[in-house]
Amino acid sequence: MKNLNKKKDISYYIKALIGILIMLLFPILPAPAPITTVGMVIIGQLLGLIILWTFVDMMWPTFLAIILFGLHALDVYPASWQTNGIYEAGQQSFGNWIVLFALGCSILCVLLEESGIIRRIVFWFITSKQAKNNAWTFSFMFLFATMAISLFLDCVAAEFFMLGIAHEIFAIFGFKKGDKWPKYMVIGITFTVILAFAMTPICHTASILFMGIYSGITGQAANVLGYMLVGIPVGFVIWFLMLLWFRFVVKPDISHFDKIDFAAIEAMRPGAMDKKEKLVGAVSILVLILWIIPGFLSFLAPTSSVFLFMDNLTATAPLFIAIVFLAIVHIEGKPVLDLHAAMKKVDWLSIVFLAGILMIATAMGEATTGIPDFIAKNIIPLAEGKSPYAVIALFAVLSCAITNIANNIPVGIIFVSVGVPLAQAAGINPFLLVVTICIAANMAYTIPPAFVPIGMAYSDEWCEGKSVLKNGLVMTVISCASLALLIYPLGNLILGA
């Protein structure tokens, strides 16, 4: 046993050293133009972090990255008002609004769990006829529910909520950490949330941003209905292919389901809702409504005072207003939300991990790194002289492939900015190209900096980074092939070439 532990320690130190050396030494390599020296620093930190996060640890590499990023932060952000690079690193990591939003979601999920609402929803699922049928119909129903709410909800909020329900299910069913079915349910939830985010622009800020760039270049409004008529069918095709991959290739062990006593579980169903559960449920539904309404109003009444007010609030304000309200209100002498206790139950690993992801991902999109210019420089020649079908397929594949090693926001911005003028010059419908980019650039499945939900899966206690990466690569291939084959024929039929 001592020899085994010694070997594990040696392996741990070797992997840690490799990751750290890549972060430190990668900038020594010559930078391919137009990537700058600081661009090589960011790429090196990204590569080193991927190795450390995947094979070593999820927590301390993030803090190491913040320290190393601080040494170069003012080169990435020369207009920064910070007096020191480490302060800018803090701003770009823990100071990012998504970290604050994720913290708020985590607090609310703790309360939803404590109040019994998540447990009530869980029992609705696990005592249904489909759940008792077999493990595969249960898995399908759960992932379909994830898809349904994620089509019209922010991906971070949707994943927090569905993972909270999933964790409760794992515990009730008696699964252990490391079991294959829970692991692949976490991965399935994550990939489903990502696909839903790509399929509609409602409450999905990335696609709204990309279409805003299109409108700014062309002076034309985005056809949201057209986007959805293309995005939803294509997304469902990829989703079904994902389910087939899990069912017939991965084939996680589901024998545990044969041992589950559903009669005993039925007897565990919660009774009538108490005052606390009713209040938490009502407030949570109100927050959900306030999250969804601006997405619809942005298309139905974009100049209305109601939309402008709610858009100015952002999704974060209603969330924290709800948290403050529930902390103030007392029932039977106790606060509905005990913030002191809730903060102890927050998944701080995910929060810290998310901070590191956002710091690196945001930096990759900065002009000072030369990375956006490098991507743009190498795209335009590839599309010259190609047919409309080939151009759309090319942008679909490149957007999806690159977003899996970079980040969806800068990839989408770069491709839309480059692609719209190119499409106009080539006589291709520029909005069809934008829809292609909106869908493809949001299908990021492989590494944490690519998309926030991936980082959450990497840090989930029921999952592991290696499995996410391996299946994410498969999903990238499936998505690239599906997009290349389907986007142009369907888009041409609905939007015109």
Instruction: Please enumerate in sequence order all residues whose Cβ is within 8 A of that of 142, keeping only pairs 6 or more positions apart, or say none.
Output: 125, 166, 169, 185
Closest among 492, 420, 359, 476 to 210, alpha carbons compared: 420
Could you give the CA distance from residue 292 to residue 255 in angstroms, rounded to a whole number? 39
User: 192: burial class by Cβ within 10 Å (0-12, 13-18, 19+)?
Assistant: buried
Q: How confident is the model at residue 487 (pLDDT cuts 50, 70, 90)?
A: very high
Structure tokens at 351: 């929060």
* H helix runs in 26-174, sequence order: 37-55, 60-70, 73-76, 85-92, 97-115, 117-126, 129-133, 135-150, 155-173
Tokens 């349904």 belong to residue: 148
Q: CB–CB of 137/130 below 8 Å? A: yes
Contacts of 195 (CB under 8 A, 6+ apart): 147, 235, 238, 239, 242, 443
Tens-place pLDDT, residues 177-195: 889 999 999 999 999 999 9
Structure tokens at 252: 């996680």
How far is 329 from 431, CA to CA, in rounded Å?
Answer: 49
Predicted pLDDT of residue 203: 63
Q: Which two three-digit tokens encode residue 196?
A: 């839903």
Over 90: is that where the pLDDT of 331 sits?
Answer: yes
Please name the residue ranges forming H helices in 329-443.
339-345, 348-364, 371-383, 388-403, 408-426, 430-441
Are 103 and 343 in contact by the 8 Å Cβ rule? The answer is no
Q: Which two tokens stand for residue 283?
A: 């407030």
Looking at the predicted structure, is the pLDDT value of residue 1 above 70?
no
Say if residues 45 and 71 touch (Cβ distance below 8 Å). Answer: no
Sole residue written with tokens 């971070």: 156
- The token pair that represents 418 in the structure block: 């480059």
Give the confidence band of 279 by pLDDT, cuts at 50, 70, 90: very high
Please give the residue that has the higher pLDDT: either 250 or 220.
Answer: 250
Name 334's bridge partners: 331
pLDDT for the residue numbered 366? 85
Q: What 3-state DSSP class applies to 58?
A: coil
Lowest mean pLDDT among 122-136, 142-156, 271-285, 307-321: 122-136
Q: What is the pLDDT of residues 61-104, one digit of tens each?
A: 999 999 999 999 999 999 999 989 999 999 999 988 878 888 88
The tokens describing 185, both together, are 């349910």
214 vs 227: CA distance, rounded Å:
13
442 vs 374, residue with greater confidence: 442
How many degrees, rounded to 5, is the angle at CA 27 between CA 50 and CA 397? 50
Better-scored residue on pLDDT, 228 or 262: 228
Q: Tokens 């990335």 correspond to what residue? A: 206
Q: Is the pLDDT of residue 17 over 90?
A: yes
Count CB atoms within 10 A of the CB of residue 214: 24
pLDDT recorded at residue 3:
59
In tens, the pLDDT along 407-438 reads 787 788 788 878 888 888 788 899 999 999 99
What lies within 8 Å, CB to CB, of 270 at 6+ separation is 116, 119, 120, 123
What is the CA 285 to chain-centroid distance, rounded? 22
The residues that bridge with 331 in the sheet, in sequence order, are 334
Mean pLDDT of the chain: 86
- In angstroms, rounded to a whole number, what is the distance separating the alpha carbons of residues 264 and 281? 26
Quick check: 231 and 442 in contact, CB under 8 A? Answer: no
